[in-house]
Structure 1
Amino acid sequence: MTLYPLLFEPNLHTVVWGGDRLCPYKGLKPQDTPIGESWEVSAVPSSTSIVSNGEWAGKELTTVIDAHPKEILGESVNKLYDGKMPLLVKLIDAKGDLSIQVHPNDEMAKRVHGKSGKTEMWYVIDANPGSYLYAGFKSKISEYEYKKRIADGTITDVLARHEVKAGDVFYLPAGRVHAICSGILLAEVQQSSDVTYRIFDYNRPGLDGKPRELHTELAAEALDFNVEDEYRTIYKEDDNRANLIIDSQFFSVRVAELTEPFHRNLLKYDSFIITMCIKGDFKIRIRETGEETTVREGYSCLIPAAIADYDVVPLNGTTRILDAFIDNKKRDLGHRITRFLHLSSK
């Protein structure tokens, strides 16, 4: 068995708010239905990714991971997540506004649904002039006011509205109210969960012509009503380096714009790496095996933890990539510090 970077078949989802940008972005034929999501790397049972290259072509990602969990996920990730892929990565094209929604944390999701919670982040790839999204509350409200505003359709009046441009980043911990609005194309990294509580959907019908279900009571339990000073993630971005944009207990995300070959040795993290090609094709060259894999614009690649020492080689002058993985190095350090403080207090 020789490990190699995994590519995947297109996994497109038709939704009422979807648009027509994902197919051309990925070099696919246009479809007659509104495509809102491309599930780039997914182990969610309802829509699992299918490998498109190498000896595992045609197999579900879950099947490949089950056969080689430590090598693909990393020993630490395999142990921490019981051999399951902990992340789900998507591309989202919002031609219309998504519903106002919230996701539960791990405790609530496990208790109510037997699933993991859903913390996520957004990286804006493109946005029409004047496009905006909602993230968080702009003023403190009570649960009573929340329910009243849903009933009278004024819930958006108390949400923090953010005009966006390419490169903007938003971190959305479980419990934070949010919605992507029209004219935005973005990449989403999230916990591997499909639990969403829809709060308000503008009284529009779904694809079947019927109103989509709302989850008012569950959302009320999940919501964090606190107000933050800043919801947008501010980060430094330098060319030809991996710029840290999100560093959380659930995932670490970096973005890089490259004009020259770039060496990435991430073995120390003991984690798989999901690399999204945001702009410009590139080639991944594995240092250990010499294996070369081309990743096209609009596609993503899963690099097994055991071979996460590689070069990224731009093929068209400039490429922009987004990496997502589990930072076990940071997690181990935090564990050692906590243990040291515990022992010191004895």
Structure 2
Amino acid sequence: MGIYLMEAATKDYLWGGERLREEYHVSSEKSPLAEAWLLSCHKDGESKILLSNSAKLPLSSFLQENPKSVGDMGTEFPVFPMLIKLIDAKLPLSVQVHPDDKYAALEERSLGKTELWVVLEREEGAFLYYGFKSEYSKDEIRKAIEGHFLTEYLNKIPVEKGDVFFIPAGTVHAIGAGICIAEIQENSNLTYRVYDYGRKDKDGRERELHIEKALSVMNCKKTEIRDLTSSGPVLPENGAERLASCPYFTVERCSLKEGEIHKRVVGKESFLSAILIDGKGKIVQKTVRKRTEEEGASLEESRQEMIAEKGNSFFIPAGSGEVEFSGAGNWLFSFLEK
């Protein structure tokens, strides 16, 4: 079916910066430019497919017209299962938590939110919060929220470019100032804020907190800080790093030098999202069609080639076959896998 460049939906949250526009080639008139939703069917921000005739089509409309493009595994979900963002946190994000699927379905008629962060850039001294240092009661946590010292209970983790964090639903967390990340998550925009530094929105009002709901869904136990920032094994069959896998997404990272080629087969099981997070690259898809007897009954080969810049996002439909990636750059690949 081809390789499709995506156009992102964008958000101008008060904590955002300008890095996505200046370094990641995200086109938007919004400022600050906090988030770019690179792959999204969500009603709060839908990305678009750029067609060969220069037309733009919302991703949901494309999938309705081409239902097999999501893959056999994708059709098992009631909605498109994945949402992928770039996030530029010039200022710290709120301390927050996301519900799991069961709670979200009962209380919000939504999916929950498990997510993966890949750190793309960071300023000197940047850090994030991830889970609790010890196990606390909900009364203790409530008092910490009301007393504005909740962050003293949280694990404060310095970050480096390339670090990877898997964040199950229920984990209290916050992205700190000076961090740019790629976020691969469930298709949900459900966030419960528990602490927001007393900040006010553009209308001068403090942003809403969701303390009772947050207390209902958060994991209050001690979060074991293992080697959270390490990636998975390099897969011998394709040379990529396995970063994480769960029912909603599997994510791999591939670093290429000039002259190297990374080949992947996009089978009928799942679509492939390919995002160039650094450098420059090229994607090539070759297809072979057997001509009819009227056409000469020979084989006809066609070739599609696309040049990629840092920040470009591509949607490759299920069943596309072998795709080649080259150039000096780093790719993030996201797909569904049993």
What's the TM-score once normalised by structure 2's chain length?
0.90
Q: Distance in 1 between matches of 2:7 and 2:74?
A: 25
Question: Match for residue 322 of structure 1?
Answer: 332
Question: How many percent identity over aligned positions?
Answer: 34
Structure with the larger strand share: 2
Question: 8 Å contact 1:121–1:188 — kept in the other structure?
Answer: yes
* Aligned position for 2:291: none
Deviations along 1:232-266, one digit per CA (max 9) or x if unpaired, are 14225769821101122221110010111111124
How many correspondences in the alignment? 319
Q: Which moved more, 1:283-292 or 1:38-47?
A: 283-292
User: Distance between the aligned counterparts of 2:103 and 2:42, measured in 1?
Assistant: 19
Aligned-pair CA distance for 1:215: 0.3
Change (3 A) 1:9 1:235: closer
Unaligned runs of 5+ residues in structure 2 are 288-301
Question: How far did 1:296 drift?
Answer: 1.6
* Structure-2 residue corresponding to 1:264: 264
Q: Structure 1 unaligned segments of length 5 or more: list them.
A: 332-346
> 8 Å contact 2:6–2:313 — kept in the other structure?
yes
Per-residue deviation at 1:11? 2.2
Q: Once the 2 structures are TM-superposed, how far is the Cα of residue 31 of structure 1 from its aligned partner?
A: 5.5
Deviation at 1:113, TM superposition (A): 1.1
Matches within 5 A, 1:72-91: 72-78=69-75, 80-82=76-78, 84-91=79-86
Structure 2 counterparts to residues 1-346 of structure 1, below 5 A: 3-27=1-25, 33-55=31-53, 57-70=55-68, 72-78=69-75, 80-82=76-78, 84-230=79-225, 232-235=228-231, 241-259=239-257, 260-267=260-267, 270-288=269-287, 289-314=302-327, 318-327=328-337, 331=338
The TM-score normalised by the length of structure 1 is 0.88
**Cα offset for 1:294?**
2.2
Q: Summarize deviations over 1:249-297 as a string: whole Å, max 9, x none.
A: 22111001011111112427x1111111101121211232522222221
Measured on the aligned residues, the alpha-carbon RMSD in Å equals 1.9
Residue identity matched to 2:326: V
Equivalent position SS for 2:103: helix
Q: Distance in 1 between matches of 2:162 and 2:321?
A: 26
Aligned equivalents of 1:235 and 1:38: distance in 2?
24
Which deviates further from its counterpart, 157-166 or 243-252? Answer: 243-252
Render the CA deviation track for 1:73-113: whole Å, top value 9, x for unaligned: 102211x113x321000000001000000001001111111
Judge which range, 188-197 or 236-245, deviates more. Answer: 236-245
Distance 2:159 2:314 in 1: 27
Preserved CA contact (<8 Å) 1:171 1:233: no
Q: Structure 2 CA distance, aligned partners of 1:109 and 1:44? A: 15
